[in-house]
Amino acid sequence: MLGLVGPTNWDAFKASEAAMAAAAADDAGTYELAKECLETNYYGAKRMIEAFLPLLQLSDSPKIVNVSSSMGKLKLIPSEQVKGVLNDAETLTEDTIDKLLNEFLQDFIENSLQTKGWPTFLSAYTVSKAAMNAYTRILAKKYPTFRINCVCPGYVKTDINNNTGRFSVEEGAEHPVRLALLPDDGPTGVFFVQKEVSSFVEYAVVTGANKGLGFEICRQLASNGITVVLTARDEKRGTEALEKLKGSGLSDLVVFHQLDVANPSSSASLADFVKTQFGKLDILVNNAGIVGAVIDWDAAAAGTYELAKECLETNYYGAKGMIEAFIPLLQLSDSPRIVNVSSGMGKLKNIPSERVKGLLNDTETLTEDKIDELLNEFLEDFKENSLESKGWPAFSSAYIVSKAAVNAYTRILAKNYPTFRINCVCPGYVKTDMNNYSGIISVQEGAKHPVRLAMLPDDGPSGVFFVQKEVASMKMELNPV
């Protein structure tokens, strides 16, 4: 086994004196240091494996363990082309990896790392570990009787990080040793973060994705090397959306599955599909939504009870049902993310009733049952034509209430699942058919914000409402503008 122990605690690593010195060297960099990093971390390990393969083949239980790092995950490499190559398990070869590493060194010499889409922080280290993770998969495929895996042992206290790590060397060493002692039917070609299975590939589900914002979210996630399940109610439109992605060269990273978020059996069917095909889910983006009113933007939004109910069923209960269906698969991910696409209209200042605002604002006692009770009240008041007298919004009332409920539910979820990163976001006033393309932001610009939250680091925020990239308060604002 050959390797440099890699960090999982990103903030702690960046804070360490050694890391900052390494980063400065990497950025200011010398070609010699970058080349030495690749020669040791990738080619050194590769040469050891090649030298010992004849002897390992004489063993009745051969094992290879490559000590890697979470910094070798593909999401840390900006280049879509590089991620696509390293992500292609079917056609990836050692020669392909060599070509990529030569490209990296050439771009390093030419001082064009950033423009060519390579990482700029500890670039050689990140690239060397990504190459090692990819090589591990090639080896496991080539030698099916071997158990060949790679592992990030955690942020271990060593002289590399001036002993600032979280784990003792004894704790860190347990994980490579466990893999070295795997039974003959144990996993192979797998990347572990400590004792948990991590994936070389991340999987995402995006609802309401056959057009507009949802379609662009799919495109941007796939461009980051993530395998995406594009969903839509209409199978024909979903298939057509998939065809459009072929022009972007991303069709291999996107699959279509029919989904009606308002139908629990449809959500369950999709969860079964993801479980069978991928075994886990890393990212869930709840984008599907409707206005719940017949829009006349020159006057007001006048709705019917049926439209209001459908709006709540889709925007709130649809998102909630998806989350409940996918929680078990998200719990199998080492970096689970939920992004609820919301709206600035869901801010509590848009609800006149002080009682309703108070209930949704109470982070300590707020529960899902209380949200259900409020939504039932809203529908009853809608039916009785007493929205205004009961303190509900009069304009686009169902839409506002549904998004306020989503924002509140996001906070509950973040509290219940502290290891997840769960946030909601208003992408801005995006040009879509929902607003007759009267928005001021393109779908490309709007999609950036949910995608950013879908790719947050493990120590990123949770339970937060963002308006585009800015943190917004879900609580009651005093003196709202």
Exposed/middle/buried for residue 471 (C-beta within 10 Å: 0-12, 13-18, 19+): exposed
Provide the token pair at 303: 């709705």
For residues 3 and 421, what is the distance between their CA atoms, to the nearest angstrom?
30
Is-contact 287 450, C-beta < 8 A? yes
Is-contact 272 263, C-beta < 8 A? no
Looking at residue 5, its amino acid is V
What stretches of 56-178 adopt beta strand conformation (E)? Answer: 63-67, 147-152
Other C-beta atoms lying within 10 Å of the C-beta of residue 390 = 16
Catalytic residue flag (residue 43): no
Is-contact 35 72, C-beta < 8 A? no
Whose CA is closest to 42, among 133, 120, 113?
Answer: 133
For residues 466 and 469, what is the distance between their CA atoms, to the nearest angstrom?
6
Report how far Cα 428 is from the mean position of its chain's Cα atoms: 20
Is-contact 288 318, C-beta < 8 A? yes
Which residues fall within 8 angstroms of residue 232, CB to CB, at 6 or more apart? Answer: 208, 209, 210, 238, 241, 256, 258, 259
Which residues fall within 8 angstroms of residue 4, CB to CB, at 6 or more apart? Answer: 40, 41, 67, 69, 125, 129, 160
Other C-beta atoms lying within 10 Å of the C-beta of residue 217 = 31
What stretches of 58-213 adopt beta strand conformation (E)? Answer: 63-67, 147-152, 191-193, 196-198, 203-206
For residues 343 and 101, what is the distance between their CA atoms, to the nearest angstrom?
43
For residues 64 and 3, what is the distance between their CA atoms, to the nearest angstrom?
12
Provide the token pair at 64: 């290879």
For residues 21 and 92, what is the distance between their CA atoms, to the nearest angstrom?
34
Catalytic residue, from 399, 409, 429, 437: name it.
Answer: 399
Is-contact 138 179, C-beta < 8 A? no
Active-site amino acid positions: 399
